[in-house]
Chain A
Amino acid sequence: MNPMKDELKAYIDGELTTSEARTVEAALREDPLLSEELEQIRELGDSIRRLESIEVIGYEKTLKAIQSRRANWKGRLGLGFAWAGGLCALALTLVTMMPNQGTNARLQATNASFESLERAKAPEAASASAPLIEFSHSKDKAVVTEKSARYRQKVVSAKPALSDAKPVIFYVSDLSQTCERIESFVLKSGGQYIFRDSGKGSPVKLVIQLPESKLSSMRAELKELNIELKDQLTSPITLWLSSQ
């Protein structure tokens, strides 16, 4: 049996490299049976493509469904702006109330360094167009993803004043003003930190807002920490409670 037989289909499909195709062509010139087989495979492919006849239906219906969803999004966008306004007002109220909460006592008890939410506000991080980076880690993996999604959950209560990249303990206050302990990394490149804990046992998420100028140093730092940076930023964050 000619060993080139196994390559005939890939040759017909143009899936061989130039040198592989030349080898097949040389074999075809020398072996008439191989040429016959090539033709048979080619004809079989043609027959398969002629075999079915499917009438296409549903095109208009799909277009309408897409347009309808688009219209729904517009409506939700308007509602979203209304919610955003309300949430921002709530966040401002929270900011002013924060120093008086029991949070401070718990922070002192663990000897961790924190600043209040107001002090944590970095002017360069307050820009609404700054990139949003989401960090998540569970027991055996850590992933950082640049996100375009709207952030809408919790407000950070403090920012660690540590300068080196070590796991530290953070306290997080959400809109209901409960505190949760979360272990995470401190990044040397700075920025403003927001945490989101989706529940006991699930991965902890850290959302960091950084100005463009700090992104490259953060990427280098994440690499040093063996944290994988996934995806590229597609659009800026649209709602940023802690920077209000």
Chain B
Amino acid sequence: MQRIDEERASIDKLVRDHYALVYKFCVRRIGKDRAEDAAQETFLTVQKVLPKFRGDSSVTSWILGIAHNECRRVCRKEKLEPCTLQIDVPYHGIGERDMVDREALRIAMESLSPEHREVIYLHELEGLTYEEAALILNVPPGTVKSRIHHAFQNLRRALYPLGLEA
């Protein structure tokens, strides 16, 4: 009985601590319309396989790995293209120049290859280390390092075309 109580407390805590991260993760990959269901499915899977989690990776990367698989399943099922960043630009308290920069950055992000965009999401927005991102993508950490470097090169090339080669 104590174990059941522990598992219950544990899954509730996992949802509380990671729901926002997982939901945003799903929004970035499959869009707002499908993200809520995908996030829910992710946590139902987490609940199911929690007793098997052995702590080989961090809890966050383990849960995002499950979310990653769920998003891929949705993409396959609904034949979706990889999604772009969902940006809701706030209209108050922001200058015109900032608006332009944000739009330029959004366009630059969209121009990245899916592989480069994915590592930016995982590392910059979801806060994973290179090693954790590598586990989710099933590639060596060196590949993640290289992809992030090249993704940033491409972004800078798009945003500062004159300054980069100096």
Contact = CB atoms under 8 A, between A and B. Distances in A.
A63 B156 contact: no
- Chain B CB within 10 A, most for which of A52, A63, A65: A52
Interface size of B as a range: 35 or more
Contacts of B93: none
Contacts of A15: 129-130, 145
Interface residues of A, number: 34
A210 B140 CA distance: 38
A235 B149 CA distance: 44
A137 B102 CA distance: 56
Interface stretch (A53-61, A80-88, A91-99, A109-117): A53-61
Contact of B24 (A54, A70, A148): A54
A40 B36 CA distance: 36
Contacts of A161: none
B124 A55 contact: no
Contacts of A57: 23, 36
B101 interface: yes
Interface in B118-166: 120, 123-125, 129-130, 145, 148-149, 152, 155-156, 159-160, 163, 166
A55 B36 CA distance: 11
20 contacts: A10-B149, A15-B129, A15-B130, A40-B160, A41-B152, A41-B156, A48-B124, A52-B86, A54-B24, A56-B19, A58-B35, A58-B36, A62-B19, A62-B39, A65-B44, A66-B12, A66-B47, A148-B51, A232-B54, A235-B51
Interface of A: 6, 9-10, 13, 15, 33, 40-41, 44-45, 47-49, 51-59, 61-63, 65-66, 69-70, 148, 231-232, 234-235
